[in-house]
Every structure is written in C-alpha cells, then in structure tokens.
C-alpha cells in the first residue's frame, strides 16, 4: 500500500530519482534524513519544514534524501545498517518491529519522557510504536479506516449507519431492493480487499490474535480464521459488494457514492483529498460495525513515523529533530500539507473524514497497521492475491489452505 509517507495524490508520482534538499545552515551538526517521496509537492513541504526547524535549531543543518516507494524500501535496511542516514521515515507494524528486533533503531524513551509525549499522543498510538515497553518511533501522521456512507441514500433506505453485523446485512438487503449498490469495493488494487479481512478479524478475534496471526504464529486453518472468512462470505453471498470489483481501484470507490449510485464503502481518510467540499455534508464516516458486542473496539490506523538509526553519529541532534516533529504546530503543518491526520491529541482536524475519524481515534482500544504492514513481509504479495481472489470465488476452505501453504512455505512451522 503506497498511500503513506507524505502522500498527497498518488496519481502524480514522480520519476524514480533520488532528490536531496539541504538547509543553508553550515555550522554545528548535520543530519541526513531519509524520506519517502510520493508527489512533486514534497520538496516544497520539506523546504518549509527545514526553515521552521532552523528557526529553533540554527546550529543543526538538515539534508532530506527522498526516494519513491520501492526504491525507498529497498534502501532502508542498508541505511540503518551503515548509519548513513541519521533519521528515517518508516511505518509502524511488522515493518517497524522487524528492524527494532535487529537492534537497528535507537530507543526514544528518554525523549518521550522529557517532552511528556504521553500527554500528546493516545496510549494506543504509543503502543503501536513500542516494543517490549520501550518507545522506538515518533508518530507524525496516520489515516483511519472506517465505513463511509451516503447520507441521502441511507435516508432513502430508511436506515441509520450500521452499528452491528445485522445492521450491515440489513443495509445490503434494502439497497438491493432499490437497485443500489450496497458496498463499493475494488480488487484492481490487491491491497484494498485486505481491509475487510482486517476488520472482520479484529471484530471477531481481537487485536492480539490478529497481530499473532499475521506474524505467522497461528495457522490460517485455525477455526477462528475460518469464522472470519465465513462472515466475509456471508456478505458476498448476500450481494453486498459491487460486482465489477476487478476493474475498480481506490480512486474509483467514492464517485458512485457521491452520485448516489452506491450506499457505502470501507475506506481511509486519505481520500479526504479526493472529496469535493460540496459533498462533505452528504457523507458520514463511522467505525466498522461491531460483530462480537463483548470485543473491545480495535481499528486499522496505518501510522507513519520517524526513527533514529542506532548507528547514527548524531543521536543528540536526531532527538532534537524528533522532538520538533512531535510539536503540535509541526504536526498541524504536515497534516494540512498532505491531507492526512495527526495523531496528536490537540490537533484540530481539517478534512471532512479527518474530523470524523478523531472520534474513532479517541474511542479506540488498540490499533492495527493494515494487513500489508502487519503481516510478515515475505507473505505480502501472495496473501493479498489470495484475498482478492476470495472476492471473486469465495471458497473458504480453499482460501485458508492457500494462506496456510503460503505461511509454511515462507515461514516454516
């Protein structure tokens, strides 16, 4: 899933060339900072960020080194191993845990305490950047997943945003009766259907099992996983999803909802940038419906972070940069510039979905990082293809056997 790392509009991705932006400060220490570029506008964002930082720390110069998605991911391990980059953009979840486990990341517990960051970030966010009770990363943006509904369509159907599984199935029935697509979904981007696996698993089995499963600690043939696919199949058999999903990517999810041809979709608030302001009052963004009423509420909230390389020779200056990135004014600037959300508790949300997802964040018991960030990275491509295929051919037994074969092939028993 490329929608991260200062993503503002993935349709305008640049050619894959390294770009370096340096501050004009020439005295004192120097930080090399690795960042992921997704749009042309990122150089301007980093230029202003550098100017803001140098107003506070004129003795520290910055060099931002940007790559596009695939190049960036291929370079991270080398940068961490050599200490060539002092500070790096990265992602929470298994991608963070794997480098922390190899002792490549400098812990930031002292920084966290010194700047009282427990008062700035929710506990669920701190837990997402912690490993064995130590904080290792500074969160700076996230996007929340949830159900987006067309208010006019719900009014037409005489229903409220679904609160539980029965409500969701009822929405499907009522929408089909009026020839309205109940739920938009796309599998042209293989990562999109994974949101449904995530949420059904989180609602049925909880966050701990979800993380353990994706780390390869449980077989996919476990009856709890079978139950997840049986629930998902129930939606497919009830014709809840748009039938042409193979031809739909993430950019095509919202227009049918805006045109009142579809009732809902499971999306993230990165789509704020694709929502015309005139439509803000016509949509509702809510937490995914409950399934087990006793299960705490867990959400998919992919979190972007900055980390300090353990081999950096500029740890003190790097910590000053992370402290700067933790400030409310800095987080507000970044969130506004890229159309995502800041995890800072005092942040004043600006977009329609962002405004509504703050309620989701405040009520969450824990957060997952999305399927492709939480699963063992050797399994990403194969597992996403299997989940996308399930939408077309919802054979539960075959699907869990395929996933389990992939787990054993990649990870062993």
On the question of pLDDT at 218 being above 60, the answer is: yes
Return the H-helix or E-strand segment holding 149. Answer: strand 145-150
Whether 154 contacts 163, CB under 8 Å: no
Report the pLDDT averaged over residues 138-143: 92
Domain annotation covers residue 350: no
Q: How far is CA 59 from CA 53, 56, 85, 179, in A?
A: 10, 9, 19, 64
Residues 322 and 73: their CA atoms lie apart, in Å, by 21
Domain annotation covers residue 241: yes
Residue in 197, 93, 92, 196 with CA at minimum distance from that of residue 147:
196
260 with 372, same domain: the answer is yes
261 with 327, same domain: the answer is no
* CA–CA–CA angle 215, 216, 219 (5° rounding): 140
128 with 168, same domain: the answer is no
Domain annotation covers residue 291: yes
27 with 136, same domain: the answer is yes
Domain annotation covers residue 62: yes
262 with 179, same domain: the answer is yes
Predicted structure pTM score: 0.87
Residues forming a β-bridge with 142? 303, 341
Residue written as token pair 């991608």: 95
Domain annotation covers residue 3: no
Per the structure, the count of domains in the chain is 2
Domain annotation covers residue 33: yes
CATH assignment at residue 381: 3.40.190.10
On the question of pLDDT at 136 being above 80, the answer is: yes
258 with 398, same domain: the answer is yes
- Domain containing 286 equals 145-300+368-411
- pLDDT of 363: 78
Residue 71: phi, psi to the nearest 5? -60, -40
Residue 352 pLDDT class (50, 70, 90 cuts): low
Residue 4 pLDDT class (50, 70, 90 cuts): very low
What would the pLDDT profile of 375-413 be if each residue is shown by its tens digit?
Answer: 998 999 999 999 999 999 999 999 999 999 999 999 876
Return the H-helix or E-strand segment holding 344. Answer: none
Domain annotation covers residue 75: yes
Residue 365 pLDDT class (50, 70, 90 cuts): very high
89-126 b/e (C-beta count within 10 Å ≥ 16 → b): bbbbbbbbbebbeeebbbbbeebbeebebeebbbebbb
326 with 390, same domain: the answer is no
Domain annotation covers residue 1: no
Terminal-residue alpha carbon distance, the chain: 27
33 with 86, same domain: the answer is yes
241 with 376, same domain: the answer is yes
| 135-139, 237-241, 337-341: the lowest-pLDDT one | 337-341
Name, in order, each residue with C-beta under 8 angstroms of 3's C-beta and a sequence gap of 6 or more: 10, 143, 250, 268, 270, 302
Residue in 285, 12, 321 with CA at minimum distance from that of residue 143:
285
Residue 23 pLDDT class (50, 70, 90 cuts): low
Report the pLDDT averaged over residues 206-225: 97
């Amino acid at each position: 899933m490329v929608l991260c790392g200062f993503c503002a509009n993935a349709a305008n991705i640049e050619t894959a060339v390294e770009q370096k932006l340096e501050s004009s400060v020439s005295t004192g220490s120097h930080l090399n900072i690795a960042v992921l570029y997704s749009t042309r506008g990122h150089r301007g964002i980093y230029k202003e960020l550098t100017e803001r930082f140098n107003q506070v720390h004129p003795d520290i110069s910055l060099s931002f080194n940007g790559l596009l998605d695939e190049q960036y991911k291929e370079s991270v391990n080398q940068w961490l191993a050599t200490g060539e980059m002092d500070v790096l953009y990265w992602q929470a979840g298994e991608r963070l845990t794997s480098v922390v486990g190899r002792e490549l990341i400098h812990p930031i517990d002292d920084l966290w305490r010194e700047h009282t960051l427990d008062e700035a970030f929710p506990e669920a966010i701190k837990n997402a950047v912690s490993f064995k009770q130590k904080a290792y990363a500074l969160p700076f943006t996230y996007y929340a997943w949830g159900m987006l509904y067309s208010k006019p369509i719900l009014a037409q159907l005489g229903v409220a945003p679904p609160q539980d599984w029965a409500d969701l199935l009822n929405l499907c029935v009522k929408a089909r009766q009026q020839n309205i697509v109940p739920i938009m979904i796309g599998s042209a981007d293989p990562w999109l259907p994974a949101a449904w696996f995530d949420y059904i698993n989180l609602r049925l089995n909880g966050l701990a099992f979800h993380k353990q499963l994706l780390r390869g600690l449980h077989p996919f043939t476990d009856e709890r996983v079978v139950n997840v696919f049986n629930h998902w199949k129930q939606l497919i058999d009830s014709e809840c999803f748009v039938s042409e999903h193979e031809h739909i990517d993430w950019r095509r999810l919202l227009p049918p909802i805006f045109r009142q041809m579809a009732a809902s979709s499971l999306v993230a608030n990165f789509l704020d940038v694709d929502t015309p302001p005139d439509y803000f009052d016509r949509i509702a963004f809510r937490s995914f419906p409950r399934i087990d009423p006793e299960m705490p509420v867990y959400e998919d909230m992919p979190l972007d972070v900055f980390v300090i390389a353990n081999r950096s020779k500029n740890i003190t200056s790097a910590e000053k940069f992370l402290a700067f990135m933790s400030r409310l004014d800095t987080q507000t600037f970044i969130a506004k510039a890229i159309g995502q959300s800041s995890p800072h508790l005092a942040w004043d949300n600006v977009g329609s979905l962002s405004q509504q997802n703050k309620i989701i964040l405040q009520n969450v018991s824990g957060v997952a990082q999305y399927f492709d960030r939480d699963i063992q990275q050797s399994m990403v491509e194969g597992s996403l293809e299997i989940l996308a295929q399930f939408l077309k051919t919802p054979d539960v037994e075959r699907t869990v056997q395929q996933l389990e074969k992939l787990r054993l092939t990649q990870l062993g028993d």
